[in-house]
Amino acid sequence: MSGGINVAILGATGAVGQELLALLESRNFPLKNLKLLASPRSAGSKIPFCGQELTVEAVSDESFAGIDIVLASAGGSTSKKYAAAAVSAGAVVIDNSSAFRMDEDVPLIVPEINPEAIAEHQGIIANPNCTTILMGVAIYPLHQVQPIKRIVVSTYQSASGAGARAMAEVETQAQDILNGETPKPEVLPYPLAFNLFPHNSPLGSNGYCQEEMKMVNETRKIFADPQLRVTATCVRVPVLRAHSEAINLEFDQPFPIEKAQELMKGAEGVKLVEDWEQNYFPMPIDATGEDDVLVGRIRQDISHANGLELWLCGDQIRKGAALNAVQIAELLLEKDLLKVTEVTAAI
């Protein structure tokens, strides 16, 4: 690490934090210094990076002096607690939590969709929810050609969405069940191994859980279409890593399948995976560790002339979180938007 940008990772010991480290290294991000921050539990632990051993520090308000970019992935309450201190210290915070996503003065960015919105940042840029990013990357190329009128999405979300401890818990539960023992849920509310359950985020008065409403509201914000009709059912499934989504799209007129396939082939961040003869389509194990969102099973909705069905799998930790955040950091540098001119009073 020499000339370049001073970056801090808040939540460096977590599943997304670890992926952020790997991506900064593999993408040759122009780093000057990298600071690793987590809770006091992890202070003093060592993490390898670019042939060195970096020491994790407990985050405090003083952690951000001299930092240009904070990649925050330590949960919403931690982001809320430290974002103001980071911005006051002159850093731009790229926040992976839901803490600021719907704030009017916080851009919510997927670089393949709305890179221009980043210019409006006032110190905080939000990284959307994982399921929203994966869906958005896949369907935005279609939306640009023929505006989508309605989205009906069902998700199949892996344990990784609930963090590194949830992934470990599923493995332990699977072993317990195979040993004839009763699985003990600790991080997740119910046993996930050999089971599934509707997403356990808090339920709203309309019957939708928070995860589902994130897909509705965040997609509208990223697509800059407040009227877009979206409904979602989010489910946690016993997959370790990479989320899947079944998506039904409604247009004003029929969307030719061949046109959709061509668009998927040319779209940034998307890979068309379809072998109709072998009945082979995207699977979470194939999406794991991949940058691209894998899309397939594009077919006409037999119940609606203007409907299109598709299936996707994407790595929740990578494009659904860490990769999107690093791409936002790269976009900041590309557009020379690191200097914060105005500090929002809202944080």
Given candidates 21, 24, 38, 328, which one binds ligand A2P under the rule CB under 6 A? Answer: 38
d(CA 244, CA 254): 25
41/339 with CB nearer ligand A2P: 41
Does position 237 interact with ligand A2P (CB under 6 A)? The reply is no
151/321 with CB nearer ligand A2P: 321
Interaction with ligand A2P in 57-116: which residues (CB under 6 A)? 59, 74-75, 78
Does position 158 interact with ligand A2P (CB under 6 A)? The reply is no
Count residues binding ligand A2P (CB under 6 A): 17
d(CA 216, CA 81): 26
Q: C-alpha angle with apex 256: 250 to 257, nearest 5 degrees?
A: 95
- Alpha-helix runs per DSSP H in 256-312: 257-266, 284-287
Burial class (CB in 10 A: 0-12, 13-18, 19+), 279: exposed
| Cα-trace Rg, the chain | 20
From the CB of 160, what's the least distance to ligand A2P, in Å? Answer: 8
Does position 13 interact with ligand A2P (CB under 6 A)? The reply is yes
Structure tokens at 163: 């963090």
Catalytic annotation present for 50: no
Going through 50-145 in order, the beta strands assigned E by DSSP cover 52-58, 69-72, 92-95, 124-126
From the CB of 152, what's the least distance to ligand A2P, in Å? Answer: 29
12/298 with CB nearer ligand A2P: 12
Give the number of other Cβ atoms within 10 Å of residue 26's Cβ.
9
Q: Which position among 121, 130, 199, 234 bears the catalytic label?
A: 130
Given candidates 123, 128, 161, 163, which one binds ligand A2P under the rule CB under 6 A? Answer: 163
Does position 17 interact with ligand A2P (CB under 6 A)? The reply is yes
- Residue 19's H or E segment, with its range, is helix 15-26
Structure tokens at 145: 């050609």
Catalytic annotation present for 243: yes
Residue facing ligand A2P at closest CB distance: 14
Q: Which residues bind ligand A2P (CB under 6 A)?
A: 11-15, 17, 38-39, 41-42, 59, 74-75, 78, 163-165
* Residues annotated as catalytic (active site), given as ranges: 130, 243
